[in-house]
Structures are given as C-alpha cells and as structure tokens.
A and B are shown apart, each in its own frame.
Chain A
Amino acid sequence: MKRRPTFLISVMIFGFAFFYIPILSMIVYSFNASRLATVWGGFSTKWYVALFTNDKVIDALILSLKIALVSATISTILGTMSGIVLARYTKFRGRTLFSGLVTAPLIMPEVITGISLLIFFILLGNWIGWPASRGFTTITLAHITFSAVFVTTIVHARMLQADRAIEEAAMDLGSRPWQVMFDITLPVISPAILSGWLLAFTISLDDVVITAFTTGPGSTTLPLLIWSKVKLGVTPDINALATLMVVTVGLGVVAAGIIMNRAEKRRQAEERLAFQRND
C-alpha cells in the first residue's frame, strides 16, 4: 500500500515552478518586439539579429571562451594532482596547511578572493614589474586558482572510492609510481576528471566578481559585459543573449545526462549478459 504524498508533490510543483518561471519568462521576452523589456509588444527575433552583429558581444564571448579553455585545462591538471595527493599521501610535512588551502577558496566569499588577488597583482606589478597590466593573464590565473579547488573536491571524492589495490597491483607488476598514475589511476578516474574540467570551464565562463577585480582596461569577458549592462536595468538584447546561453548550456547538460544514462544502462546490460552466458 502506498499513500500518495500529496503535500510533497504540491511543494515540488511549486519548487520547480519557482525554478523555471523566471527563466521561461526571460526566454519569452527575448522575442519581444518592444524596446521596453518588460512590456509585450509582439513577436520578433530582431534582438537576436542585433546580437550577432554586435562586435562587442562577439569579442567578449571569444575572450571568455579563451580564458575558460586555458583556465579549465590548467586547473584540471592542478586539481587532479591535489585530489590524488589528498587521497593517497596521508602523511607529509605541511599536509594540514595543504588541505586547508584546497578547501578555503571554496568558502571564501568571492569579493574577498577578488580584492586580495587585485591588491596582490597591483603590488606585484609595482615591485617586480609583473604583471604590468591586468587582463587575460591575470583573469586566467585567478580562474585557475579557484576552479582548481573544485576539481580537487571532485577528484578527491572519486579517489576515495577507487580501489587502492588496483594501483598496488600495477606497482606489483613492475610499474613505477608515475607509470601507475598514467596507466591506471588517471584512466580509472577519467570520468571524474572530465566532470572536473566541465565544472571548471563553466565556473570560469560564468564568473563575474573575481573577473571584475582582476580584469584591466580592454579585457571584457561576456559576464562582465552583461554585468555592466544589467547594472543599468533590463534590456531586450540581454534577454536574447541570456536565452542563447541558458538554452545552449541546458541542451548540453541534458545531452550529457542522456548519454551517460545510456552508457550506464548498456554497461549494466552487458554485465547481466556476461553472467548469464558464463556461469
């Protein structure tokens, strides 16, 4: 006998409506012909056309993608290293500080991370002449630092589940520690590394606060561009841009989810088949 949890279902419906009505409303209004962003004036795609002919938007998008690509890759390398270290090297001098350093940026308010990096870069520029100006490099360095910490968390969690014996078996069969890492550890945790990279990429692509502090003249990322416009209010072209971004990411996540779900189902089916045939 199963009772229908009516209360739970109504709260869930409310919760999901709360989640999606603002986004849906934004999508609908991106097709608004009116200049006034919140008053409906008929259907139109002109804001999308305007978007694609706006060089500023295109440039900002390219800069954002460049930064996200570079910072996601480097932070994945660093984060994977520290995730493995946290799980596998339980005793070394300075481990307490190390584990503090890889968790602190997670909870540090972004304003503080941003300001401290900005002050640091300015003083460093004054003392040693580098960085001479802020822009692509400083933004990327900042993004690497805080996305690496997210990658660390993901990789660490995965490493704790991984069977230590597999790595020992490889060592036992003649592999040196670094070979074990490339032959066994990294392939086994590769899905976690991939999700780490994706997370780092989206975080970088999305970041406003830290980017705002570490950027310099001439380096406007897409979120910064949106930030500067949004501070002045709601405009239809931002609705269009937002719709494109939300839909792109949404489709990507849904597709990834479906692909992973299928792969998992296929793997389970194969496993069942194997046992039926051989035992």
Chain B
Amino acid sequence: MAEGAAQDAFLRIEGVSKSFGSFQAVRDVSLTVGKGEIFSLLGGSGCGKTTLLRMLAGFEEPSAGRIFLDGRDMAGVPPWERPVHMMFQSYAIFPHMTVEENVGYGLKHDKGMSKADRANRVAEMLELVQLTPFAQRKPHQISGGQRQRVALARALARQPKLLLLDEPLAALDKKLREQTQFELMSIQARTGVTFIVVTHDQEEAMTLSDRIAVMDKGEVRQVGSPTEVYEFPNSRFVAGFIGSINTFEATVIARESPHLRLSVPALGTEVLARDVAAVAVGQAVTLAIRPEKLRISRERPEAANALAGTVRDLAYFGKDSLYRLDLAGGGMVQAHAVNARRGDEGARVADWDDAVFVGFDPASALVLVT
C-alpha cells in the first residue's frame, strides 16, 4: 500500500481547502506524492480537480492548509517562481509563436543558459514528442494531437520538479487517446518528472497512474494504487465510481474468521464475505460484488456462495457478455462472463429465461460501511 510515498514525500498537501465566496470547491485535502510518481486525481465534473491543480501551480492561494514541494513551503510563491509547470486543459498554446518558439518560451527565463544550450534543449524536447518536422509551424497549422504534444514539450522543457496535467487527453478522439496514454507514460519514465494528472476517465486513471486519488465534492475519498481502489474501495461512492458494481443492503450476523456471515434479503440467502475490522455483528452494511467476479453456471457451483436465478436480459459484446439475472430472493444482479466456448457450440453460457446459478468467492465480496 502506497509504498515509499510516505518516506520521500516529495509533494505534501496538508489540509488544503479553497472557498470561492461561500462555496467550498476543495475541502481539507491531504495528500503525499512521491518523487517520480504518476499520481491521478480522479473525479466527476466540478469536484474540484482543476482547483486543486491551480493551487499547486500557484494561480490560486489555498483558503486554508499548506503545500510543501521538496521540503519548501509554497505559500505566497507566485506561479512564475514555482518549479512546477502545468499542461492546461485547453493546451493554451501561444497562437502567435511557432511550435519551436512555444517549446522554448520558458527557457528564456533561465538566465544562465546560453543560446546554443537553449536551442539544443528545444530540439531535444521536439525529438521527445516527435515534433521535429513541425518546428516551424504555427499552432493553427498542426492537428489537435500535435498541439497536445507541443503543450507537453513546452511544460517539460524547463525540467520542472512537478508536472501538472489537466485532462491531458480529453480533447483527443478515442483512438488517439489510447495511443497517447502510453506515449505519456513512456515520456514520464524517460524524464523521471513527477506527474499529477487530472482526469474524469477512470480507465485512463487506471492505465496511467501509480496511484489514484478519488475525489467527490471537493473531498478526497480514497487514495491508493489502481488495484487498491478497484479491488478494495473504501466506500460505496468509490466502488460505484470506478467500474460497475452490484450492491445490496445486508446485515452482519456472525464473524467466522476470516469471513463475515451476512444476511442479504435481496439475495434470498446468507453470504460469506471478506472480513473487515471496522464492523460489528448486527451492523447494517452494504455488500458489493463486481460483475466479473460472479461465475455463471448451469449446475450449482462448488463455491462458498451460490445463488439461483433466471436470465432476464443479456447483452452480447463479442469477447464477453453481460447478464442480468433475477434472483430467488427478488433482487437483481449483473454478471460478466467471458465467451470462452467455441462459436459453433453457441458461445454464450446461458440464454434468455435459462435457470442458472451464480457463484463467487468470499474474498471478492466486499463489505462497505460508508
């Protein structure tokens, strides 16, 4: 969990809040980010991601709390003196400068740098983002994807300690976005700069990041590696925000180490789930299971938990299918199944109105308190 982040807390955000008038855009956020990490801020529209980023860049002063970068308190340090560069949501390319001039713009503030060094650095950056042939073009003469790379090269040219990327891929189409994700990761690996990436696309966050902070209404709800936030969400909000999930009202009836026994009225049966320390017997909780953790079969499975149901609806996606089952207890559950069988046998596990069973391990059944 969060290995190494704590001991070399390169960036430390301590209890930062930001209010605009009476509206609190960011509430009491505390985070630490390690050197060389790709850290994502993930959350819905208007949850305060950009605002948090702008406080890191120095465009907004926190209403409360402090920010330390590499041990230095950033309070009162203006944007132009911070070793932090930002890639803007709109890219903010200077329209009156060529690609080359854009990339070299920040370097002219480094007084010690000779002209030749500066030119070399610009060439190096253009090489890095594969824009060398476009050096003399004006921004309106290049495509959207190329503009994105100009913005990246420009922000990296001065070797910032921290690079802030506000929705770096949002303006690109789906195909270009996937390709660019990997480019971004390889560039980060080569430069070793710490990246903070804002995104509202959970898949993008999962692919890119070492760690993710999930935000909601200005608050950070969970911080962890992609696996942690996906497999072990700490709340209904996080569980529902990342991926899809089945949730049911449940009551803890016994602790059978290492499991909890739950009564789940909607499922019509008792269920074994992974134990979590913070619950007591008798407490009302939420049971959450991801659709792909459910195994559909025609015969009653061996698994610790098995539910009987009928296929109400199914969607065929090719490599897999999504089933919607009516359960004996009156509830409904979604299950994902890979279509592993050969086509001539009929690739699907079950068909409409078939009576089937779903089984799952206690380890993949999550108990959520909040």
Contact = CB atoms under 8 A, between A and B. Distances in A.
Interface of A: 163, 165-166, 168-176, 183-184, 187-188, 267, 270-271, 273-275, 278-279
Given A163-B92, A166-B92, A166-B95, A173 B158 contact: yes
Given A184-B94, A274-B137, A172 B86 contact: yes
Contact of A170 (B89, B90, B94, B140): B94
A271 B140 contact: yes
Given A173-B158, A278-B142, 12 more contacts: A168-B79, A170-B94, A171-B78, A172-B82, A173-B105, A174-B110, A188-B96, A267-B140, A271-B140, A274-B140, A274-B143, A278-B146
Given A166-B92, A166-B94, A171 B80 contact: yes
B85 interface: yes
A168 B53 CA distance: 13
Interface in B98-153: 105-106, 109-110, 137-138, 140-146
A165 B88 contact: yes
Interface in B55-97: 57-59, 78-82, 84-86, 88-90, 92-96
A163 B94 CA distance: 10
A168 B80 CA distance: 9
A270 B94 contact: no
Contacts of A168: 57, 59, 79, 86, 88, 92
Nearest to B137: A274
B261 interface: no
A170 to B, nearest CB: 7
Contact of B142 (A169, A170, A274): A274
B80 A169 contact: no
A217 B145 CA distance: 66
A278 B88 CA distance: 22
A267 B138 CA distance: 10
A193 B82 CA distance: 32
B98 to A, nearest CB: 13
A76 to B, nearest CB: 19
Contact of A169 (B94, B96, B109, B143): B94
B154 interface: yes
7 contacts: A168-B57, A169-B94, A174-B158, A188-B95, A271-B141, A274-B142, A278-B146
Contacts of A165: 88-90, 92
Contacts of B58: 172
Given A166-B92, A188-B95, A173 B106 contact: yes
Nearest to B133: A278
Given A187-B96, A188-B95, A173 B90 contact: no
A24 B80 CA distance: 59
A279 B141 CA distance: 12
Contacts of A163: 90, 92
A170 B59 CA distance: 12
Contacts of A275: 143
Given A172-B79, A173-B154, A270-B140, A279 B145 contact: yes
